[in-house]
């Protein structure tokens, strides 16, 4: 098998590399170093967000690699996201332009709505506005109104494509029935403990690509969690292909129909996570990995449970 990284085609004709670098919690120069290293290692898909507060680091790394002649701007796909306090339609273009200023770029490749629910706006940097009781201040803006404002960003050339993140089946179906521009992605939490097979099937049917965040379930070596990274059964699969358990899990996520976004700032791991295109799992391997599914989320965002747009009150 060729170890060349395949690309996935979107419903609007654009394409994307079938693995990406996740950057959440990469700060203080770590994100810039990780992005530089990832580009050198062959990554052409970087995922960030306004909420991560590292768009400037991703932008600096990309510009450096363009200046060095390693890549051209059109070679690399940059995804970022609209945060919940910018959902009012009149704030959307402002938010996107602010993001572009952070990157130092003319456009992004994909702009996602980070969550279907929204917060009260108390300032650009008040990303989790709280009331006197310390509860997050929710707003009830309809995500369809936010989406219409995002569609204009494509017309303005500020982003090539738009998509969503953390949308459930009902929200996605409602959006598809009411949009001019179809979302190209739904980015969701996905790993063996939450394999999202039903939501992936719905997205596939509607020609929407699924990207998987927390694909390795945030490994904790001290506690040996999650079990699918540290279990002997998965280690045995890894041994069979001369791969690590992380590589086995990432391969599984690709084979069930997602683009995984493993986050790392460790150069060795960044490279390792990328080397998953020279082997294939068999049905027995899949049965082992399927057995870890519990449906439990790492990111339940329970502070937003009172929002009518909270996405996790239904099965998928």
Cis amide linkage into residue 226, ω under 30° from 0: yes
Residue 303 in marked binding region: no
Cα distances (angstroms) measured from residue 270 to each of 37, 153, 155, 171, 245:
8, 32, 35, 34, 14
Which pair of tokens denotes residue 295? Answer: 């449906």
Nearest of 106, 127, 45 to residue 79 by alpha carbon: 45
Contact 276, 254 (CB under 8 A): yes
Q: Which of 50, 52, 117, 143 is catalytic?
A: 52
Longest CA–CA separation in the chain, Å? 59
Catalytic site residue 52? yes
**Strand order from edge to edge, sheet including 258-260:** 21-22, 45-47, 77-82, 108-113, 159-165, 185-189, 209-213, 258-260
Catalytic residues: 52
- Binding-site residues for substrate, please? 114
- Binding-site residues, please? 114
């Amino acid at each position: 098998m060729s170890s060349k990284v395949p690309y996935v085609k979107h419903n609007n004709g654009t394409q994307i590399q079938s693995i990406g670098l996740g950057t959440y919690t990469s700060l203080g120069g770590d994100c810039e170093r990780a992005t530089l290293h990832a580009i050198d290692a062959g990554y052409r898909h970087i995922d960030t967000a306004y909420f991560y507060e590292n768009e400037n680091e991703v932008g600096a790394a990309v510009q450096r690699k363009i200046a060095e002649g390693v890549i051209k701007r059109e070679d690399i796909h940059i995804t970022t996201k609209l945060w919940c306090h910018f959902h009012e339609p009149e704030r959307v273009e402002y938010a996107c332009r602010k993001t572009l200023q952070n990157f130092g770029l003319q456009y992004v490749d994909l702009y996602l709505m980070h969550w279907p629910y929204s917060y009260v706006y108390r300032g650009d940097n008040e990303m989790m506005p709280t009331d006197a009781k310390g509860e997050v201040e929710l707003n009830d803006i309809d995500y369809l109104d936010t989406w219409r404002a995002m569609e204009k960003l494509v017309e303005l050339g500020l982003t090539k494509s738009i998509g969503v993140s953390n949308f459930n089946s009902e929200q996605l179906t409602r959006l598809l029935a009411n949009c001019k521009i179809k979302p190209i992605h739904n980015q969701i939490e996905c790993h063996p403990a939450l394999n999202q097979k039903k939501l992936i099937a719905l997205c596939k049917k509607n020609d929407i690509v699924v990207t998987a965040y927390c694909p390795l379930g945030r490994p904790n070596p001290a506690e040996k969690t999650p079990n699918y990274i540290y279990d002997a059964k998965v280690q045995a699969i890894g041994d069979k292909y001369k791969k690590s358990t992380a590589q086995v899990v990432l391969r599984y996520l690709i084979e069930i129909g997602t683009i995984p976004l493993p986050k790392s700032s460790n150069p060795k791991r960044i490279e390792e996570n990328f080397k998953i295109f020279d082997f294939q799992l068999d049905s027995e391997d899949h049965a082992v990995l399927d057995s870890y599914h519990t449906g439990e989320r790492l990111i339940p965002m329970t502070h937003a449970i009172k929002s009518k747009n909270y996405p996790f009150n239904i099965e998928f």
